[in-house]
Structures are given as C-alpha cells and as structure tokens.
Amino acid sequence: MKSTIARKTVVLLGGLVLLVVLLGVADATLNNYYLRILQLIGIYIVLTASLNLTNGFTGDFSLGHAAFMAIGGYTSALLTMPLAARALQLAELPVWFQEFVSPFPLATVLGGILAALVALPVGLVVLRLRGHYLAVATLGLLIIVKSIASNWEPVTRGARGLSGLNAETNLWWAFGWAVITIFVVWRMVHSPFGRSMIAVRDDSVAAASRGVHVFRIRLVAFIMSAFFGGVGGALLAHQLTAITPPTYSFDLTFLIVIMLVIGGSGSVTGSVIGAIIMTILPVILRDLERRFELPGVSQIIIAAALIAFMIFRRQGLMGNRELHPSTWFMKKPATPASVDAPQQ
Amino acid sequence: MRNIRFMALGVSAVMLLAGCSAGGGGGGGGGDSDEIVVGAVYSITGSQASIDEPAYNGFKLAAKEINDAGGINGKQIRVAFSDAASDTTTLTNVVSELIENDGAVALGGTNDSTFALAAGPIAQAAGIPFVASGATLPTLPDQVGDYMFMACYGDDLQAQAIADYSMEELDAKTAWALVDQAYDFTTALNKFFQERFTANGGEIVLEDSYKSGDTDYSAQIARLQALPTQPDVLFVSAIPNEAGIITQQIREAGLTQPIVSGDGYDTPLVAEVAGDNSKDVYFSTHVSLESEDAVVQDFVAAYTEEYGTGPENAFAALGYDTMNLIADALKRATDDTDPAAVKDALASTQDLVAVTGTISYPEGSRKPSKAVSIMRIVDKVTTFVKVIEP
Amino acid sequence: MTINYILQQLVNGLALGSIYALLAIGLTMVYGILRLINFAHGDLMMLGAYVSSIFISATVVPILLAVLIPTLLIAVMGLIVERTAYKPLRGAPEVAMLITSLGVSRLIQNSTVLALSPQPRAFSLPGDLTKTVNVGGIRFTQLDVLTFLLVIVLMVLLTLYINRSKTGMAMRASSENLQAARLIGINVNWAIGAAFVLGSALAGTAGFLWASRYGIIDPFMGFLPGVKAFVAAVIGGIGSIRGAVVGGVLLGVAEIGFVGFLPPEFSGYRDAFVFSLLLIVLLVRPNGLFGASEVERA
C-alpha cells in the first residue's frame, strides 16, 4: 500500500513536471494566437470541471454557470483595473476604491469567493427544486445577474462594460487554475463526500435514509462549483480585457454544458476532454468557414453534432469512467463513480 | 497520478495546435513582397451582422477597386477576413489570428465600440494600426492607444448635431428620451444628446429605457402619453433592429411629434416596418447616400454593380472609407511593410476625400472631425436635409 | 395616474399575454407528457413567422392562408422534430432531452440564418387588422381582440378535446404515467405526436400573430418568448391547458405592469422581473395555479 502511494506521488509529480515543461515549450514556440487558444482551453477546463460538480456529480442540472462567471469577472475586473482606466470609467465610485488596485491573483480568488457567497443564499433557495425546474430557475438566475450588470451603471457601467484591463491571463494562470480545479474536484469526488454526492444523484431518497445530508451535500457542491465558475470568469475577463453583459451570456453557459456532456458528465477527465475538443473544434470549423466562405455553418455543425451525441452517446465520450494512464503500469484503482449509475 | 493524463491531453492539444500552425493558415506569413495583407474585423453572423455585413462589403469593394487600379506601390492588397461572429471571445481570437497568422500590416473593422475596446488593445500590443469603421465612442483612440484610429466621427458630434437641429429647426424646448440600455452606442448617444439639449436651455421631461430585443414598447409609450404636457420632440436612442418597430408603435399610439435619433435610424427597416407610420423622423448619420456628390454617387453605383443591391446603410460607406484610409496611409508610408510607419502615415492623414466626408486627423487626435448629415423620413422616403459642419 | 392609463396598460398586457398563452399551451402539453422543456418551441414560432411572411408578400393570397399555411407547416415541422430528435431519447434522463432541445433550437436558428439572412425583415400585414382603434381613450388593434378571443376559444376546444376524445384520453393517461399507459396498451407515441402537432400548430399561429403585432421578424426572435412562455406555463400549473392560458395572460399583464407602473429606471429589469416571478411561484406554489402535484423536490 505504501509503495502504491509513493508511486502515485511520483506519477503525480512527474505529470506536473511534464505539464510545466510542455507549457514552457508552448510558451516559447507558439505565437500569440495559439497561446490565446491554449489559454482558453485552460479557462474552459476550470469552467467545465467545476460545472461537473453540480450537473454531473450531484445531478443538479444548472444553466446558471455564466451568472457566477459574471460575478467573478466583474469583481476581479473592478479590482485590477489600472488607475488611468478607472479614473475614466469609475468616477462615481468612492475615492478609496479608485485608488486601490489589487494584484491579479488576489482579484481572481476574491472573484471566486464573491461568486461562492452569492451561491449560498441562491442555493438555499433554488436547490429546493430539482430536474427541469432547477434548470429553468438557474437560467432565471443568469438572466437576473445579466440584468443587474446591464443596469447598475455606477459599478458595471451597464452596456458599456468595463474595458482597459491588463491582459493578465497567461498560460501559467490558466493552466495553474485548471490543475487546482481538477485537483479539488477530484479530491471531492474521490472522498466519502463524493460517494455521498453520487448517492444523492442516483437516489436521493435512499441516500437520505442512509443518513446522508442530501441538501447539505448539494449545497456544498453548488457553492464550490460557483467558486470556480467565478475564478473562470475572472480569467476570461483578463484574457479579453474588456467585458460587457453579453460576454457572460446564455451562449457561454450553453457552450460549457456542451463541453460537459460531450466529455461525459460524471467524469473529471471527461470534462477536460470535452473542454479541449470544444475549444479546438470551433477554431477548426471557423478555419473551414473561412476557406469555403460559409459563415454560420460551424454553429449548425456543432448543434447537429450535439443532437447526434445525445441520441447515440448520451453518456458522453467518457461516461462516468475516468481516463487512467496510471493504470497502464499499475492495477486499476477503484473509482467511486463506477457505482453503477443508469443516469448519464 | 491523475495529472499525467491531463499532461497527455495537453501534449495532444499542443501538438494539434502546432500542427495547425504548420499546416493551415500559416502560409500567409506576410512575407510575400508582391502583396499587402490588410485584416478585416467584422461579424457577418450574429447580432452585429446587419451593420457589419454592409461594412465588410464596402471594405472589400474598396480593396478591389484599388487592386484593379494597379494596387499600392505596385503591390496587390489581400483582405484577410474571418468572421468575428458578434462574440467577444471569437473577435479577440480573430484579431490575434489576423495579426499572427496572416501577417496583416493594418486592421480595419467593427462598428461597435465595446468590440473595438476588446480588439484594439490586441492590435496596440502587437503594434499594428487598427482603424475602427463605425465605432463612435469619442474616447476610443485615447483609451486604446496610438495605434487606434477612427474612420467615423464620435457620438458627441452627431448627438450635438441632432440636438441643435431639434432646437433650432424644429423649435423644440422639451424632449422625451427613450434609450436602449443594451448598447454602449445608444447609452452614449443619449448622454451626449441630453447634455447638449439641456445646456442650450431645453428640458428632458422624461427618460425611459428598454433593452434591445424587447419588442413591446406599449408600457413606455402609455407612460409618455400620460405626461401632463406633451414634449416637443421624441428622442429615441436605438439600434437599427428596433428603430422601425419603435417608430411604428409610437405613431400607432397617435403621437405626432417629430422623432429624432442618431445613425441607428439609418436603416431601410424604419420605412419597411413602420410603413405609412414612418413620417416626421429626423436622424443624424455619416453620409446621405442620396447625396448628389460625385464621390457618393460613384460609390453607390460601384456597390450596386458589385453586390446587386445598393448600400444597405451608411456603414457600407464607412467600411469603404476604412479601407481607403488604410490604403492612403500605405501609399504615403515610408515603408509599407512596417506597421509603425503605416501608423505614422495614418496619423498624418490630411484632406482625404471619402464617401462619408473629408477626413483629416487634427494634430495629436486620431478621431476625424467630419460633417454630420441630417436626414428626414417622410412617408417611407428618406431625404437629405442638411449638413452640419463641426 | 388616471384610470385610462391603468386600463391602457391592462389592454397592452392582455395583448402580449395572449401570445404567451398560445405558446404556453404547446409547452404545457409536451411537458405534461414527456417532462421535456422544449426550448425549440419559440423557434418553431419564428419559423411560423417566416413562412407567414412569404404569403403576405404575395398579395393575392388572402390573410387566412397566411395563418393556415404556417399553422399546418409548423405542425408537421414539430412532428418531424419530435420523431427525429426526441423520440430516440425515450427513457433517457430528462436532462438529455433538455440539452437536445437546446441543440434543436440552435440548429433551427442557425439554419434560418444560413438559408435566408441574419438581417431582420419587415412584416407588414395589409388591411385594417393592425390599425389602431380608439375606444374611450383606450387603444388597441382588431388583431389584439381577435388574438384574445382565439386564445379563449382554443382553450375551451382543447380542454374539451383532451377530456373527451380518444387521443385526448391517451394524452392524459400518458401524462399521468408514461410507462403504465404504455403497459395498458395505449399508443404512447401517438399521444406524444398529437401533443407535438397541436402545440406546434399553435406556435405557427403565434408566429403569424407576433409578426403582425410587432412588424419585424428575425431568426433569433423566438427563443426568449419561448422561455417566457414556459415561465407562464409554470405559473399556471404545468400540464393544464387552462393554467397555460391564465398563466400566459397573467405574465403578459405583470410584465407590462412592471414596466408601466414602476419608475422608468426599472424598465431595464423587465426580464429579471419575469424570472423572479418564476422563482417565487416555484418556491411558494410549485404546482402553479391549476397544476396537478408533480414538481420534483428534494
């Protein structure tokens, strides 16, 4: 047993070193355009893996992820905005605030924390619902947050949005947060807590009767998901350097949901695969659009592919299995997700 | 343990991207000496399409005319384009792609200030000049930096023009304002209009709002009608999609005051949607396409021949002017392969005769001061009223 | 605030609410049986508006055809969507169907963009139907009145149909319990098909009415009204035709009232208000006004 743990640690560290080397190589060789796409992959991994906590693991299908992203994005943007841009855009805010510029890492975390804080009361309310009703209620949350962003002029500047941010998001932040998100989500899922989550998803009545605090489990998952949603929103804001209410639209939520279901909700590695595929596929399709001058076709292909996926492989590429290269050279570890679940 | 598989995926992703860069798109590295690559940043799908598509057509038309006339300094212009799809993430990717992969020496495009604020800094950081076609935020060049230029006037100019016109020619003392909260352009236009109107002694009796995409304005209109005294003019700050439907609903409700607005009203949709109700509408815009001016008439004729329909709106002319602004700078630049030289040439643009008026950049400014055209719609027909010089 | 102003806002609300009601009927029937929030429902309305616009531009065709043809075509379209996209998902988790319907919605929107154009298009109905009448200071159009009457008549007819006819009974049995209905030999697919055909037909009609009322159509016009109509169906009590109509009308009146009776600064929160209403209804009275007990709660 001891040797297994040691070997796991070695593999883990080796993996991290390999990632750092690869990112270093990419950073040194790729041009800004490809770095941009790679950064997006990192950001989408954060978003998809965190959405998986609710939509995949506790089975609470949320359409409100972009709402938390917006909270994280706006919060961090307000905190990091350079003084020059601030004087121009935020003249109505109190003076102490106009002089306080937060470093990017702190702003990212604070964005996540604020999203989590909002998720607490929201979760207490909407998690009383399940299934479709929860989906529509969280969609409502997104629309409400967007309305606030569009109308709260002194802080969000309404439709004009916040611009002139520094392009702080780089390869290291994007993938650093991706690794942290994966690590946290993985630890949550492969713990007694995670087994409770899956029990809640598969049969909440049975779980409750076995003493699982169903509501608390769902609430914690919802809040954690919101935290990383907020972080992802902050990373995106500092990649784009200008955000407006439509930046965090229903389209964005929908994109993350597609990434999740294509990868396989209920699988952490699936989220990663889904995020990678659905970042690169639109880029390739846009290239085809460009070459054959057929604007709009990529949207149709993606929508049609999604429908086909739901019909022929609705469990996603990974289902709720995990990709385990470590099993190539050691015996298969037990995945709690393999508790036979008919859902997804 | 688990991270290794992400590394594996990371590897494949990196390799895939590297493969893309080696294979696709990478061909046009900008090194060819017989062509000059100019990037066009427009959204021909999504919410921006109705104004960006004509602008992109105008942009291409200008490039074609230049090439047919022998190109610039003996080189042909290649317009590099990829659809920005009215989405900020895609837009920023596209700008980066045009700079890095296509090797564009200058960029032109966007008719939306918020998009310009996202696209501009990428070009600024890469040291590539960017000419905004129709993004009318007056502070845009100052906010982005010395590589950002505007082909159009700022909203302050057109809002002041229409406010002055309302007060001087329409004898307005009081106004009602209806504002679309969803756009930068509409909120800014409203702000500048109200500033000018009240500064000159006018009064805004009520400001009401809506959000682009709303289709029912009955509540706002009923509130307007419930006012104790009716305002002299109705100022509507709307984008083209809603301009017709708002006019229709205002007139259907029996209100007859003049409706005044900015270039958001420069769309055939006003006459088409409002039909017989499209009367007594005044708006400011970049150019009157009905103008007798030879430059305008030539442009309209060329556009009609190329695309089978006349220019849909003034944004077509702005796209055309954007390309010509860039071409003029390329001709004058000390080195047409050096973006910094092109930037310097752009900054010293003087008296360039363009469809939307003569363009000069005053010393230290990258925003032209141009004339504003006031147009009037009477019974479905748009007519030119007057030009207001800055 | 005069009584006239209040009545005017009420009439405006009724006119908007009637169209929500038409859409909500279709959504509630489908949800009742399949537990599917059909996000593509509003997009079917959009298609109806486009089909309709073809026929009003040909002046020889009377207006009746401009209503009937889209109604029939969209009914068929709804059935095609059901059979190709939703039927293969029978027995799948409800979330799978929800995602599929989002996919269908996107597919319809973007295909329309590609096939026609992203540019909005004017839609003007010839004749007097959309001319304003002024009765005692209250303004509305003939079409508003016709829409409202149509909704009431349809509500009565459909309720009768569902309670009395064989298909209607099959639909009711299927919405009680799909599996049990299948076991006792009810042709469940027939019942589902009927719900889609009827619902989509109404969406087609709604497309004509929406376009006539607002005079402009574009490929993305349907999504938000579709989602709002679902809110209306929830308010009325999902699965109930009467509930859908009452919910739709109430939502229209509430939405207009929110904009009309609060200070103008609040107008921008219109959609937020609609969804806040939804949240309140879900939490306080999850079965809506007329719904059977069904909401899944933790």
Residue-wise pLDDT tens digits, B303-352: 999 999 889 888 999 999 999 999 999 999 999 899 999 999 999 999 99
Q: What is the DSSP letter of B213?
A: T
How many Cβ atoms from other residues are within 10 Å of residue C59's Cβ?
8
State the average pLDDT for chain C: 87
Residue of A nearest to C266 (CA): A151
Chains touching C (3+ CB pairs < 8 Å):
A, B
pLDDT of residue A2: 57
Give residue B12's pLDDT: 53
Q: Which residue has the higher pLDDT, C208 or C55?
A: C208
Q: What is the per-residue pLDDT across B87-110, written as a single tens digit (0 to 9) for each?
A: 899 999 999 999 999 999 999 999
Range in A26-40, C119-133, C258-272 with the lowest mean pLDDT:
C119-133
- In this prediction, residues A239-252 reach a mean pLDDT of 92
Give me the pLDDT at residue A3, please: 66
Q: Is residue B137 part of a domain?
A: yes
Nearest-neighbour CA in chain C from A289: distance (Å): 12
**Angle (nearest 5°) at CA B17 between B15 and B20:** 110
Question: In this structure, are B91 and B182 located in the same domain?
Answer: no
pLDDT confidence bin for A256, thresholds 50/70/90: very high
* Rg from Cα positions in chain C: 19
Closest to C282 measured CA to CA, from C236, C229, C227:
C236
More confident residue, C277 or B323: B323
Whether residue B339 sits in one domain with residue B251: no
Q: Evaluate whether residue A64 is within a structural domain.
A: yes
pLDDT of the residue at A334: 42
Q: Cβ contact (<8 Å) for A310 and C100?
A: yes
pLDDT of residue B13: 52
Q: Tokens standing for A159?
A: 């439709």
- Give the amino acid at C257: G
Task: Check CB contact under 8 Å for C5 and B254.
Answer: no
C256-268: average pLDDT: 85
Residue B215 lies in a domain: yes
CATH of the domain at B121: 3.40.50.2300
Angstrom CA distances, A342 to A201, A315, A319, B310, stand at 10, 10, 10, 59
B233: in domain? yes
pLDDT at A328: 44
Gap between the Cα atoms of A339 and B62, Å rounded: 64
Whether A81 is covered by a domain: the verdict is: yes
A300 contacts C93? CB cut-off 8 A: no
Q: Mark whether B162 and B147 lie in a shared domain.
A: no
Tell me: pLDDT of B4 over 60: no
Q: Give the neighbours of chain A: at least 3 Cβ pairs within 8 Å.
A: B, C
Between residues A226 and B87, which one has the greater pLDDT? A226
pLDDT digits (tens, 9 = 90+) for C156-176: 999 899 888 888 888 888 888
Q: Which chains touch B (3 or more CB pairs under 8 A)?
A: A, C
On the question of pLDDT at B1 being above 50, the answer is no
Report the pLDDT averaged over residues B279-303.
90
Residue C229 scores a pLDDT above 90: yes
Which chain C residues are closer than 8 Å to A133 by Cβ?
234, 282, 286, 295-296
Q: What is the domain extent for residue A334?
A: 12-338
> Do B101 and B184 lie in a common domain?
no
- B273 and C213 Cβ atoms separated by less than 8 Å: no
Query: Looking at the structure, do residues B164 and B270 belong to the same domain, yes or no?
Result: yes
Map residue C294 onto helix, strand or coil. Answer: coil
Structure tokens at C167: 């298909």
Dist. CA A87–CA B120, nearest whole Å: 20
Complete DSSP assignment for A123-138: HHHHTTB-HHHHHHHH
Residue B3 domain-assigned?
A: no
Q: Where are the domains of chain C?
A: 23-221
pLDDT digits (tens, 9 = 90+) for C32-54: 888 888 999 999 999 999 999 88
The neighbour count for residue A137, using CB atoms within 10 Å, is 24
Q: What CA–CA distances, in Å, run from B269 to B241, B275, C46, C129? A: 8, 9, 18, 21
pLDDT of residue A335: 43
**Domain containing residue A37: CATH number:** 1.10.3470
Distance from CA of A84 to the nearest CA of B (A): 9
Residue B115 resides in a domain: yes
The answer to whether the Cβ–Cβ distance between C100 and A311 falls below 8 Å is yes
With cut-offs at 50, 70 and 90, classify the pLDDT of residue B24: very low
Flag whether residue A289 sits within 8 Å of chain B, measured between CB atoms.
Answer: yes
Shortest distance between the Cα of B108 and any Cα of chain A, in A, equals 18
Answer with the residue of higher pLDDT: B47 or A313: A313
pLDDT confidence bin for C270, thresholds 50/70/90? confident
Chain B: closest CA distance from residue C285 (Å): 28
Contact (CB, 8 A) for C98 and A135? yes
As for the ipTM of the complex, it is 0.87
pLDDT tens-digit profile of A11-55? 888 888 999 999 999 998 999 999 999 999 999 999 999 999 999
**Chain A, nearest residue to B188 by Cα:** A160
Tell whether B5 is covered by a domain.
Answer: no
A4: pLDDT strictly greater than 80: no
Q: Give the helix/strand (H/E) hosting C187.
A: none
The tally of domains found in chain B comes to 2
Structure tokens at C47: 């298609």
Domain count, chain A: 1
- The answer to whether residue A336 scores a pLDDT higher than 80 is no
Closest CA of chain C from A9, distance in Å: 38
Residue of C nearest to A307 (CA): C100
Q: Please compute the mean of the pLDDT values over residues B255-273 and round it to a whole number.
A: 89
My answer on whether B183 and B196 are in the same domain is yes
Q: CA distances (Å), A141 to each of A136, A152, A215, B159, C229, in order? A: 9, 16, 19, 36, 17
% pLDDT > 90, chain B: 58
Q: For residue A208, is pLDDT > 80?
A: yes
- Indicate yes or no: CB of A129 within 8 angstroms of CB of C234: no
Looking at chain C, which residue has its C-alpha nearest residue A256? C99
CB contact under 8 A, B219 and C134: no
Looking at the structure, tell me whether residues B241 and B378 fall in a common domain. yes
Closest Cβ opposite residue A307 in set C85, C268, C272: C85
Kindly list the distances between the CA atom of residue B294 and the CA atoms of A30, A173, A326, B297, B299, in Å, as whole numbers in the listed order.
49, 56, 74, 5, 8
Rounded CA-CA distance C216/A93 in Å is: 40
Mean confidence (pLDDT) of chain A: 87
- Residues B382, B341 share a domain: no
Chain B residues with CB-CB distance to C1 below 8 A = 226
**What is the distance in angstroms between the Cα of B216 and the nearest Cα belonging to chain C?**
7
Is the CB of residue A15 less than 8 Å away from at least one CB of chain B? yes
Domain span at residue B329? 28-153+293-359
Return the structure tokens found at B336: 């047409």
A81-140 residue pLDDT tens: 988 888 878 877 777 777 788 999 999 999 999 999 999 999 999 998 888 889 889 999
Spell out which residues of chain A touch residue B114, defining contact as CB-CB under 8 Å.
Answer: 159-161, 163, 242, 244
Whole-number pLDDT of residue B166: 94
> Does the pLDDT of residue C294 top 50, yes or no?
no
CA dihedral A63, A67, A72, A75 (to 10 degrees): 180
Q: CB distance A33–B182 less than 8 Å?
A: no
Cβ contact, residue pair C216, B245, below 8 Å? yes
Residues B133 and B170 in one domain: no
List Cβ neighbours of A60 (8 Å cut-off, separation of 6 or more).
Answer: A54, A127, A130, A134, A218, A221, A222
Tell me if B223 is assigned to some domain: yes
Is residue B94 domain-shared with residue B166, that is, in the same domain? no
Task: Collapse the DSSP code of B248 into the 3-class scheme (helix H, G, I; strand E, B; otherwise coil) and give the result.
Answer: helix
CA distance A318 to chain C (A): 16
- Closest residue of B to A185, CA-based? B2
Of C94, C104, C268, Cβ closest to residue A147: C268
Interface test with A, best of B12, B21, B79, B117 (most A CBs within 10 A): B117
To the nearest whole Å, the CA of C195 is away from the closest chain A CA by 19
Of C8, C11, C30, which is closest to residue C229 (Cα–Cα)?
Answer: C30
Can you tell me the mean pLDDT for C122-138? 79
**CB proximity list for B301: less than 8 A, separation 6 or greater:** none
Residue of A nearest to C81 (CA): A307
Backbone φ and ψ for C240, nearest 5 degrees, come out as -110, 125
Does any domain span residue A7? no
pLDDT value of position A344: 35
pLDDT, position B181: 84
Please tell me the predicted confidence (pLDDT) of residue A13.
87
In a domain, A48, yes or no: yes
Say if A6 falls within a structural domain. no
| Residue C225: closest CA among C8, C85, C46, C1 | C46
Residues B146 and B175 in one domain: no
Q: What 3-state DSSP class applies to B106?
A: strand
For residues B170 and B263, membership in a common domain is answered with: yes
